[in-house]
A = this chain, B = another copy of it.
């Protein structure tokens, strides 16, 4: 009989190869029309079916039902999820973990791959779920919530599989010792660590959770997914698919569970502290990240936290294209990406460009105008900006207005009366106003910062990443010598650098199988989602050795 591993082997082989090469590859199409003509309508219906009723999931509602998701576009989703108690979650995970641990790496990998393929076929429904919880525009919700997230999950599977596959199942160890050799048969057992807790975020619920979720599964750890209470549906759909595949393959579906909670009764701390939880993955605020580090001892903790992303503009060989590119990066999902820029450092004396010298004010105005142009057409503005996930972000925008001179004010999008929307706010400040710009201001809030000169700008950008954390950085310059020297400073600060991006590629974008997302080398997170260190401590190896049969 063909196993799932056999069926999906090509996908795995190609993914492992891609993770080595790191040139462009993607397993799951980001082009909606490749999913078939009927898909959009069918998915719309399927999504509508999910609303205003209990979510169909075979987990016990031992502590009742919970769910209060409200779309940032206006409507309450009306979905109730079973709330399974912490002790029961742990107990079920431990029971299910016995069978999962006993499965081979190939079995587990085959199942992980199958889950990803099924999630892929569900990408349109997922797009609705992500759109209506995170506030992403549909196109982005489709790509980031669907194929891009699946690619990231696959990447983690590839890394974890490769690290486990390199361990031989058994060997005969033969040591020369005088006349007679000493011969031992050794079996190497890959053993999981225990229950993996994956704590999701409110903006990229799938993209940021899949790497940990799939790495844990493949390494043999049962997983408890703890979604953000405001953004449950995308991970509930994920867990449902996972449980179905597990059950079909004869495993206890409790290998993968969801812990839905509410804002007033959070369960993440208790789960993270539980002795049976061996691995904690978290995407979210540095505040909870610090809490985890302070309180959760002796377990690997993998985090993606907050940071301050920067752009330095030293000079430009295409001023207009640069302004357009930056305008898009600032507007995309209303600045609610962990990769969105916040600080734009510009020499106070201005910069040289293909369009002549531009003063500091002209550069700032160039970006502001490019945003106005980008968002001038309401439908396009909606596709770029989406909605604001959390009311707190709206409040933050309001408070931020006092932090500097307003270069471009934020405003709601046209045509979204029921929804929570906001275009980018840009504030001009001086480089000395660090209290204003060096704190993460999550949302469509950015600063143009007048610096002494280019060297000062670059130093400040690199130092910001070092001190406050940084997930992305961008630099515009026509001077290759300056770029090379600056690059070393960014490398030193542990922040990925994008240079002179124009056209259809943006600093916000992190490509699967190529970019290392979160370096782990600055305070924006202690872990990369996509390197060997992210997977290698999720399992251990235990050897059983005995005299070889002659």
Residue ranges of A at the interface with B (Cβ–Cβ < 8 Å):
20-24, 101, 163, 166-168, 171-177, 182, 184, 186-189, 191, 193, 293-294, 297-298, 483, 487, 490-492, 494-505, 511, 514-516, 519-521, 526, 528, 531-533, 536-537, 540-547
Contacts and interface: CB of A to CB of B under 8 A. Distances in A.
Contacts of A528: 540-541
Contacts of A184: 505
A515 B175 CA distance: 13
A491 B542 CA distance: 6
Contacts of A505: 175, 182, 184
Nearest to A547: B500
Given A191-B494, A500-B547, A545-B498, A20 B519 contact: no
Counted per complex, copies of this chain come to 2
Nearest to A545: B498
Contacts of A187: 487
A168 B487 CA distance: 17
A177 B30 CA distance: 11
A538 to B, nearest CB: 8
A219 to B, nearest CB: 11
Shortest Cβ-Cβ A-B pairs, 4 listed: A499-B546, A533-B536, A521-B540, A533-B537
Contacts of A191: 491-492, 494, 519, 521
The listed residue with most B CB atoms (<10 A of its CB), out of A487, A516, A533, is A533
Given A182-B505, A514-B171, A540-B520, A483 B546 contact: yes
Contacts of A537: 520, 533, 536-537
A52 to B, nearest CB: 40
Contacts of A490: 542, 544
B188 A516 contact: yes
Contact of A168 (B21, B24, B173, B547): B21
A386 to B, nearest CB: 22
Contact of A541 (B163, B168, B483, B531): B531
B521 A173 contact: no
Nearest to A483: B546
Contacts of A531: 536, 540-541
Contacts of A533: 533, 536-537, 540
A496 B543 contact: yes
Contact of A515 (B23, B483, B494, B543): B543
A514 to B, nearest CB: 5
Contact of A547 (B186, B501, B543): B501
A516 B101 CA distance: 19
A188 to B, nearest CB: 7
B21 A542 contact: no
Contacts of A545: 496-499, 515
Contact of A495 (B499, B503, B516, B542): B542
Nearest to A19: B166
Given A24-B174, A163-B532, A515-B543, 16 more contacts: A20-B168, A166-B532, A173-B511, A182-B503, A182-B505, A191-B521, A293-B297, A494-B540, A496-B544, A497-B544, A498-B546, A515-B545, A516-B541, A519-B542, A520-B537, A533-B537
A524 to B, nearest CB: 12
Contacts of A176: 24
Contact of A297 (B186, B294, B483, B516): B294
Nearest to A501: B547
Given A294-B297, A297-B294, A298-B526, A543 B516 contact: yes
Nearest to A487: B544
Contacts of A540: 494, 516, 519-521, 528, 531, 533
Contacts of A492: 101, 191
B519 A541 contact: yes
Contacts of A483: 546
B171 A521 contact: no
Contact of A172 (B23, B171, B174): B23
A219 B496 CA distance: 19
Given A536-B536, A542-B494, A544-B491, A511 B188 contact: no
A504 B297 contact: no
28 contacts: A20-B168, A22-B167, A163-B532, A166-B532, A171-B514, A173-B514, A182-B505, A186-B514, A189-B491, A191-B492, A191-B494, A293-B297, A293-B298, A490-B544, A491-B542, A491-B544, A499-B547, A501-B547, A502-B547, A516-B540, A516-B542, A516-B543, A520-B540, A528-B541, A531-B536, A531-B541, A532-B532, A533-B537
A502 B182 CA distance: 10
Contacts of A172: 23
Given A182-B503, A501-B547, A542 B294 contact: no
The listed residue with most B CB atoms (<10 A of its CB), out of A176, A297, A541, is A541
A542 B521 contact: yes
A188 B187 CA distance: 37
